[in-house]
Amino acid sequence: MTQQKIDLNFKPAAKLTTDDLNPLAINAKYAVRGKIAARAEELKEILKKDPSSVPFPEVINCNIGNPQQLDQKPLTFYRSVLSLLQSPSLLKNENISELFPADVIQRATDLISNIGSIGAYSNSQGVKYIRERVADFISKRDGEPSSPNDVFLTSGASTAVNYLLTALCVGNDTGLLIPIPQYPLYTATLALNNSNPIPYYLNEENNWSTDPIQITQAIEENLKKGIKINGLVVINPGNPTGAILEESDIRDLITIAAKYGFVLIADEVYQENIFNGKFISFKKVLRVLQRENPDGKYDNVQLASLHSTSKGVSGECGQRGGYMELVGFDPAVEAVILKLASISLCSSVSGQSLVELMCNPPTQGESSYELDHTERLSIHNGLNERAISLWKSFQNMKGVSCIKPQGAMYLFPKITIPEKAIAKAIELGEQPDEYYCSQLLENTGICAVPGSGFGQKKGTYHVRTTFLAPGTSWVKRWEDFHNKFIEDFA
Amino acid sequence: MTQQKIDLNFKPAAKLTTDDLNPLAINAKYAVRGKIAARAEELKEILKKDPSSVPFPEVINCNIGNPQQLDQKPLTFYRSVLSLLQSPSLLKNENISELFPADVIQRATDLISNIGSIGAYSNSQGVKYIRERVADFISKRDGEPSSPNDVFLTSGASTAVNYLLTALCVGNDTGLLIPIPQYPLYTATLALNNSNPIPYYLNEENNWSTDPIQITQAIEENLKKGIKINGLVVINPGNPTGAILEESDIRDLITIAAKYGFVLIADEVYQENIFNGKFISFKKVLRVLQRENPDGKYDNVQLASLHSTSKGVSGECGQRGGYMELVGFDPAVEAVILKLASISLCSSVSGQSLVELMCNPPTQGESSYELDHTERLSIHNGLNERAISLWKSFQNMKGVSCIKPQGAMYLFPKITIPEKAIAKAIELGEQPDEYYCSQLLENTGICAVPGSGFGQKKGTYHVRTTFLAPGTSWVKRWEDFHNKFIEDFA
């Protein structure tokens, strides 16, 4: 069959520009990997080529909770099992018992017999066996039953947020309640889905707690404006705030969700990073409220709880493991979320396996227990010490206030920026805290994220910093920079 | 500070239902993991409980290109290196050289020294070193230079499609040209992004080739209707068709992209699965056209080429590795795509490492070469034999026609469904090929995907089947079923 030929005498068209693209994609903002982070990468290259051209010995990445990029070592148990899942033939090596402890071999054998090859696509919701093990973990954590059918294994928590928001955002007359300050994944995903972030402010004066009256006001105002509210996002322990919610706060938030019938999204990825206070899951509090109210007032609550292998003492960000548990959802709604998951086929099966390991670490009596326990304790205590030490430094800086570290991987100090520095920032077309962070980076090599990337009350300025970087010399550089900055702009 | 209390005397709201959700998410369809695949999973459970209750010994998953779910073994070289990346301490074991060949140890050492820990988030575009290695591979494959700055490491090819389409879809007066039949990832992602699939039909009579005149007509018609066209998708080798495009077809498609100025998305994930014919990349043909036309007629062409570790002889679907190369894009457009990637942080770093291994397998003289070469050949030949054997069976089935296997992992036979069977399907509210596939599944345990899930010319019916499943007894079951089906509905 001969085909007709096309005309080769054509006038070529211009390339697409950003004017031709989806404005939702153009307008979405994601500060954690924004301009300052990009400049930090440039500075690293400059440092390599000519160390004398910058006034600091190294770039310190405090902009992202990425422990293993700094000096955190992975947990040996996790990595040993994952190593065997990649190379199952090692299990048949006659010297295998000299290479790995018995419980590592057993765990790898169990996982392989239930998963098959980690090179095969799994069910889009995740390997059933792993979901069962996650449900066991949740049941033990909360003392409340959990079903593997409601557990979805995801690529970190980001994918879970993506599925939930894609389902819940119905155009620009819908919205989700978002804490301010918030992790910008939420506003970015809302922007991509053409829905409104409805801000509710966290109470900095009261340890960054939630204020139910203010949240109710925000809801009522938006309902009056005709905005349909499909969800309420809570991050606990808080990102960027580092705060932990009290049980009473959680009860209030669940009550609000029960009253208004929207989905409560509990981002609980920092549940292992607790330095001062106690983590209580939303699921547990919900079950308590349901028992306390046999009239069924809390029976309609829909809760999505997110967890991740990227945080905690695991810190396995690059492995992309995570899960979400959907509690109380309409099965037809769960089916839509499963369809969204199925379009990207499945999350990394090696990452899924890591979720199993995170949920079921070695227990006392098992051969890896002692080492694993020691490693966990050392990571946890190291983070705690660094948090306290950084916090103490902020106490020494003029015009800086910061709550005592409670949880997560961040401090979010409030910085009083001098009027003259604010004027300078405006002159440069920058936010004042962006100017502060960019000066901090250029002068000390410390890369932190301006509070404006997370949202903050008008007229206040903050900086988010992790406390993951080792050593104390960089903290001293920050102190010196800060005091000079204040002086220069006095 | 005491907070005001909220009112606990509230009337609880109803749960959200699908009526409250994003209609774009509700309406998106994804047949590969649809109703029939779900029923196959149910049948597996039924088989476990009571094998005598179904008329077949096993469920055969021909619905998805998932080689390691069936009996394909992973390549030893890949897995050995990945195993060491998970457990770098093994590299320090004194017996390491008894466990792994020298080139495995060397490769793992090189990767670790360039990546650091695979547990750390990488750059959102992917580890720079791995992008350099991918660019080397592309340069060698095509004999044309490639830059690591234009390479994005992704979670399989699905994420690449997601980023590209999110950027290119600007609401319901825009669209992308999509081959029919197509892999439903494209229509599903277009649906989620509220843009139009503009179908162009592949020529079944001419080995499922592309027809530039028909494509041009589709473009002109849609432009007249006021639809802005931002992209043209080509899948080569074809999914579901299994066909390979000729160089002349590729030249025509690039010419169309040059004339109209939209992005050409070349889904080339099956580039290693070639049984009959030759794979030529769009990038190579573009560079040839650019040299042949010094007037610059092809200089504006924007090409996104996708590849994946899930297909080829790798078949590492569960590891979620892939890349896309952006050729000729406006840097500001590339920046938008990078921002979209940054919102999900990064793809699995273990998956990224696998991309490096796929792009740079052991070469002659290296210690793993012989084994690796043998394994690759055996997988490739095995697939070829199964493809031919299944194709021959289709020749024996009445009213079935199928092109000779050329590439990819699929056959897409056309099935003449008897009028009475069509009437039965309509009675059941099903598509005729859906009814055929569901009967095939219930009677033989073979799970294939109806052509209606991929799109097909009106009044024609197809089935997509992989040829990955081992053995021949299932093929015999299909033959017997088919002939009985035709007879029953004669």
Report DSSP state, residue A122: P
Cβ atoms A411, A467 nearer than 8 A? yes
Touching check for B211 and chain A: CB below 8 Å? yes
Cβ distance of B345 and A69 shorter than 8 Å: no
Structure token pair of residue B363: 């070469």
| Sign of the CA dihedral with B360 first, then B364, B366, and B372 last | positive
Touching check for B97 and chain A: CB below 8 Å? no
Cβ distance of B119 and A74 shorter than 8 Å: yes
CA of A34 to nearest chain B CA: how many angstroms apart?
Answer: 8
Among the candidates B359, B391, B408, a domain finishes at B359
Touching check for A192 and chain B: CB below 8 Å? yes
Only one residue has tokens 């910085």, namely A415
Chain B neighbors of A23, CB-CB under 8 A: 170
Q: If pLDDT is split at 50, 70 and 90, which confidence band does A33 have?
A: low
Residue of B nearest to A327 (CA): B15
In a domain, B35, yes or no: yes
A391 & A336 share domain: no
Over the stretch B22-53, which tens digit does the pLDDT of each residue have?
A: 888 888 887 666 789 889 989 999 999 999 99
B312 & B439 share domain: no
Among the candidates B295, B330, B359, a domain finishes at B359
CA of B247 to nearest chain A CA: how many angstroms apart?
Answer: 14
Residue of B nearest to A165 (CA): B22
Mean per-residue pLDDT, A313-332: 95
Over the stretch A106-157, which tens digit does the pLDDT of each residue have?
A: 999 999 999 999 999 998 999 999 999 999 999 999 999 999 999 999 999 9
pTM: 0.94
Which stretch of DSSP H or E encloses residue A291? helix A282-292
A327 & A409 share domain: no
Lowest mean per-residue pLDDT among A332-346, A411-425, B19-33, B401-415? B19-33
pLDDT at A260: 95
Among the candidates A359, A392, A415, a domain finishes at A359
In this complex, the residue of A3, A8, A318 whose CB is nearest that of residue B119 is A318
Helix/strand/coil (H/E/C) assignment for every residue in B294-360: CCCCCCCCEEEEEEECCCCCCCCHHHCCEEEEEECCCHHHHHHHHHHHHHCCCCCHHHHHHHHHHHC
Which stretch of DSSP H or E encloses residue A466? strand A463-466
pLDDT at B33: 67
Is pLDDT above 60 for B196?
yes
Over the stretch A437-470, which tens digit does the pLDDT of each residue have?
A: 999 999 999 999 999 989 999 999 999 999 998 8
ipTM of the complex: 0.94
Touching check for B292 and chain A: CB below 8 Å? no
Residues contacting residue B442 through CB under 8 Å, at least 6 positions apart:
B43, B54
CA of B210 to nearest chain A CA: how many angstroms apart?
Answer: 10
Residues contacting residue A371 through CB under 8 Å, at least 6 positions apart:
A76, A77
The CATH number linked to A249 is 3.40.640.10
Cβ atoms A255, A232 nearer than 8 A? no
The CATH number linked to A468 is 3.90.1150.10
**Nearest one of A125, A118, A28, A33 to A447, comparing CA atoms:** A33
B36 & B157 share domain: no
B304 & B410 share domain: no
- As to burial, measured by CB atoms within 10 angstroms (0-12 exposed, 13-18 middle, 19+ buried), residue B490 is exposed
Over the stretch A305-320, which tens digit does the pLDDT of each residue have?
A: 999 999 999 999 999 9
pLDDT at A175: 94
Cβ atoms A107, B154 nearer than 8 A? no
In a domain, A435, yes or no: yes
Q: If pLDDT is split at 50, 70 and 90, which confidence band does A1 have?
A: very low
Is pLDDT above 70 for B192?
yes
In this complex, the residue of B87, B299, B345 whose CB is nearest that of residue A80 is B87
Cβ atoms B177, B200 nearer than 8 A? yes
Cβ distance of B13 and A260 shorter than 8 Å: yes
CA distances from A457 to A404, A426, B390 (A): 20, 18, 66
A181 & A229 share domain: yes
Over the stretch A166-223, which tens digit does the pLDDT of each residue have?
A: 999 998 899 999 999 998 889 999 999 999 999 999 999 999 999 999 999 999 999 9
HSE value, Cβ hemisphere, 13 Å, CA-based, for A360: 22
Structure token pair of residue A82: 């994952």
> Which residue did the predictor score with more confidence, A413 or A344?
A413
In a domain, A50, yes or no: yes
Chain A neighbors of B332, CB-CB under 8 A: 17-18
A203 & A338 share domain: yes
Touching check for B320 and chain A: CB below 8 Å? yes
Over the stretch B266-276, which tens digit does the pLDDT of each residue have?
A: 999 999 999 99
B464 & B346 share domain: no
A341 & A430 share domain: no
Cβ atoms A244, A105 nearer than 8 A? no
Domain ranges, residue A389: 23-71+373-489
Facing residues of A63 across strands? none
Q: B386-396 burial by CB neighbour count: b if 16+ within 10 A, else e?
A: bbeebbebbee
- In angstroms, the CA A351 to CA A153 distance is 9
A154 & A258 share domain: yes
- In angstroms, the CA B186 to CA A488 distance is 56
B 428-467 near A (Cβ less than 8 A): none
- Number of domains into which chain A is organized: 2
Mean per-residue pLDDT, A398-417: 94
pLDDT at A275: 93
Q: If pLDDT is split at 50, 70 and 90, which confidence band does B1 have?
A: very low
In a domain, A94, yes or no: no
- In angstroms, the CA A339 to CA A451 distance is 36
- In angstroms, the CA B231 to CA A384 distance is 51
Cβ distance of B16 and A93 shorter than 8 Å: no
B439 & B310 share domain: no
pLDDT above 70 as % of chain B: 99
A410 & A297 share domain: no
Mean per-residue pLDDT, B364-371: 96
Touching check for B28 and chain A: CB below 8 Å? yes
**Nearest one of B100, B182, B178, B180 to B362, comparing CA atoms:** B100
Which stretch of DSSP H or E encloses residue B254? helix B247-260
In a domain, B393, yes or no: yes
Touching check for A202 and chain B: CB below 8 Å? no
Task: Tell me how many residue pairs between chain A and chain B have CB atoms under 8 A apart.
Answer: 342
pLDDT above 70 as % of chain A: 99
Is pLDDT above 70 for B2?
no
Touching check for A401 and chain B: CB below 8 Å? no
Does the bond joining B12 to the residue before it have cis omega, within 30 degrees of 0?
no
Residue of B nearest to A216 (CA): B6
In a domain, A419, yes or no: yes
Residue of B nearest to A289 (CA): B8
Which of helix, strand or coil describes residue B162? Answer: helix
Is pLDDT above 90 for B5?
no
In a domain, B37, yes or no: yes
In a domain, B110, yes or no: no
For the CA atoms of B179, B185, B189, B191, the dihedral, rounded to the nearest 10 degrees, stands at 70
